[in-house]
Amino acid sequence: AQSVTQPDIHITVSEGASLELRCNYSYGATPYLFWYVQSPGQGLQLLLKYFSGDTLVQGIKGFEAEFKRSQSSFNLRKPSVHWSDAAEYFCAVGAGRGGGADGLTFGKGTHLIIQP
């Protein structure tokens, strides 16, 4: 079965500094990979996704992520964070369990705190 690990439960970054959120997955074939963001009291919003092709994907709000098959990783980056980026971030893998929709498997999330 597929799994997702987000090693960092909390990360604190100063406003204007760069950000990298880590995500490692476990799956036998090429997975479909996603990053979602959740602001307090809200549902999840898709930041970006990887299905195939270029391993560096651009998303909304200035985020990007790089798929590294050799490391089974899909880390999320942003060159300069803003206070509004404070939120919960979830990495997810959609790998299929035998047909149909099958759903996504999520990591446990990384809580991003922005210091002024």
Partner 1 sequence: DVKVTQSSRYLVKRTGEKVFLECVQDMDHENMFWYRQDPGLGLRLIYFSYDVKMKEKGDIPEGYSVSREKKERFSLILESASTNQTSMYLCASSLGITTEAFFGQGTRLTVV
Residues of this chain that bind partner 1 (CB under 8 A):
9, 32, 34, 36, 41-46, 49, 51, 90, 92, 94, 96, 100-109
- The residue (of 81 and 109) whose beta carbon lies closer to partner 1 is 109
Residue whose CB is less far from partner 1, 10 or 116? 10
Cβ nearer to partner 1, comparing 54 with 101: 101
Residues 6+ apart with CB under 8 A from 53: none
Question: What's the closest the beta carbon of residue 9 comes to partner 1, in angstroms?
Answer: 8
| Size of the chain in residues | 116
| Nearest distance from C-beta of residue 38 to partner 1, angstroms | 9
The CB-of-81 to partner 1 minimum distance in angstroms stands at 22
Six-digit token pair at 19? Answer: 């950000």
Cβ distance to partner 1 smaller for residue 28 or 101: 101
Nearest distance in Å: CB 31, partner 1: 11
DSSP 24-63: EEE-SSPPEEEEEEE-TT--EEEEEEE-SS-SEEE-GGG-
